[in-house]
Amino acid sequence: MIVEFPLRGEGWVAVNSPADRIPSHGTNMLGQRYAYDFLMVDRHPRMHYHPAGWLRTFLVGVPTAECYAWGAPIHAPFDCVIVRAVDGFGERSRVHPVLEAVLAVKNALTFRPSRLPAILGNHVIARGGDVFAAFVHLAPGSVAVSEGQTVGSGEVIGRVGSTGNSTSPHLHFQLMDSADPTVASGVPCSFRSYDVSRGDTWERVESGIPRRKDRIRHSL
């Protein structure tokens, strides 16, 4: 399915993408076969997600709300009806990569369906025809839609955060064939248009699937 890119601003990278491997997250569970993780980074070769360097980030962590992606608006990628809108989960005030990685592994090893809300954190699931889009790990208090609401393509549905099973502020986005991730299968997804950074210029891509090293933005 071809949809609109759900984020604005420059510097997004798909740190997990079906362009690089399938399943993109190493598993078909929870409808994740073709899922994306979008992280905002700077132009440093190591793609920092916070103004601090990697040494400081790994030693003492960084404030969550200072990460580049945090608070970025998330836009509906197609006309849809909201079937699930969950808010109220808090997030840790600091991001520490080692601690976050340990917690992520622990959550994966101990997962059971009853713990799904805590894994997803604040999230929205929207239906467009027979396809469901999931937007996961939203910032606390940022969910801007309610269940049953009709939303037009491009409208803001929430903001990027780091709730649930998240290692840093980012958007986990996927299409699936059911509103229930525990039984859903992933649906392939490409984006109608976006720009890829090529040095000092931007190259437009139509109906593309961004790769891990592509630094992208919504087409202007």
Reported residue count of the chain is 220
pLDDT of residue 77: 98
pTM, 2 dp: 0.94
Distance CA 1, CA 12 (A): 21
pLDDT of residue 41: 95
Q: Does residue 110 surpass a pLDDT of 80? A: no
Q: Are 132 and 177 in contact (CB under 8 A)?
A: yes
**Could you write out the DSSP letters of every residue in 43-62?**
SSTT--SSSS-HHHHHHH-E
63: which 2 tokens? 């404030």
Question: Which has more confidence, 114 or 152?
Answer: 152
* Rg of the Cα atoms in the chain: 16
Distance CA 182, CA 60 (A): 36
pLDDT, mean of residues 186-211? 96
Distance CA 154, CA 212 (A): 24
Cα dist from 79 to 91, 118, 128, 188, 218, whole Å:
29, 28, 6, 18, 18
Res. 54 pLDDT band, cuts 50 70 90: confident
Query: Dihedral, CA atoms, 194, 211, 172, 169, nearest 10 degrees?
Result: -90
**pLDDT 10s digits, 122-141:** 999 999 999 999 999 999 99
Res. 108 pLDDT band, cuts 50 70 90: low
Mean model confidence pLDDT for the chain: 92
Q: Does residue 104 surpass a pLDDT of 90? A: no
Q: Does residue 199 surpass a pLDDT of 90? A: no
Smallest CA-to-CA distance from 72 within 163, 28, 7 is with: 7
Q: Does residue 211 surpass a pLDDT of 90? A: yes
Q: Identify the CATH number of the domain in which residue 35 sits.
A: 2.70.70.10
Cα dist from 21 to 17, 167, 173, whole Å:
7, 20, 16
Domain that holds residue 166: 2-218
Give bridge partners of residue 114 from the DSSP assignment: none
Q: How many domains does the chain have?
A: 1
Q: Give residue 213's region: left, alpha or beta (phi > 0; psi -120 to 50).
A: alpha
Distance CA 104, CA 111 (A): 10
pLDDT, mean of residues 73-88? 98
Res. 43 pLDDT band, cuts 50 70 90: confident
pLDDT of residue 190: 98
